[in-house]
């Protein structure tokens, strides 16, 4: 018996913000902040790509150039970027924003101590425009 299933792919949302900090505790707080944003993105229908959580335990194992090149490659494969609170204080996040502009990705930014509704609206529209129907 054949059934119709509608599969809605998820947009990949790159989470950009500070990673480094003066102490391991500060780094951990930055990682946790990125994780919180990622969960918010997931709860609103996007799939978060959070470099902070993927490689936090590898910090200082290889040079920064390796990790920064990898994060930019992840960004290239995403559909949009979300700039966390305090992203301007991070040289890496600044570079990610410039790269997102060059890639013509939609850029969403934390404002007014709340998550931006435009990202949620964009995710909903993205899903409508990317529906795949299989049988």
CB neighbours of 14 closer than 8 A, spacing ≥ 6? 49, 51, 74, 75, 78, 80, 81, 82, 96, 100, 105
Cα(46)–Cα(119) distance, rounded to whole angstroms?
9
Considering the domain boundaries, does residue 21 fall inside one? no
User: Is there a domain that residue 16 lies in?
Assistant: no
Q: What's the number of domains the chain is made of? A: 1
pLDDT digits (tens, 9 = 90+) for 34-87: 999 999 999 999 999 999 998 888 877 888 889 889 999 999 999 999 999 999
- In SS3 terms, 114-135 reads as ECCHHHHHHHHHHHHHCCEEEC
51 inside domain: yes
Q: Is residue 113 part of a domain?
A: yes
Would residue 52 count as lying in a domain?
Answer: yes
Other beta carbons within 10 angstroms of residue 28's beta carbon come to 13
Q: Is residue 17 part of a domain?
A: no
**Residue-number span of the structural domain to which 80 is assigned:** 33-130
**Is residue 54 domain-resident?**
yes
pLDDT tens-digit map of 79-131? 999 999 999 999 999 999 999 999 999 999 987 545 558 999 999 999 989 87
| Separation between Cα atoms, residue 126 and residue 114, nearest integer Å | 22
22 is a domain residue: no
């Amino acid at each position: 018996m054949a059934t119709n299933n509608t599969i809605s792919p998820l947009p990949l949302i790159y989470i950009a913000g500070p990673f480094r900090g003066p102490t391991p505790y500060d780094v951990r707080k930055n990682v946790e902040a990125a994780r919180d944003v990622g969960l918010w993105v997931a709860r609103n229908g996007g799939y978060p790509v959070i470099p902070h959580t993927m490689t936090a335990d590898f910090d200082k194992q290889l040079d920064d150039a390796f990790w920064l090149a990898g994060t930019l490659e992840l960004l290239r494969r995403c559909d949009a970027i979300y700039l966390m609170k305090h992203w301007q204080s991070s040289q890496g996040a600044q570079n990610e924003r410039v790269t997102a502009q060059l890639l013509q990705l939609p850029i969403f930014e934390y404002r007014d101590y709340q998550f931006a509704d435009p990202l949620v609206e964009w995710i909903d529209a993205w899903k409508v425009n990317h529906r795949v129907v299989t049988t």
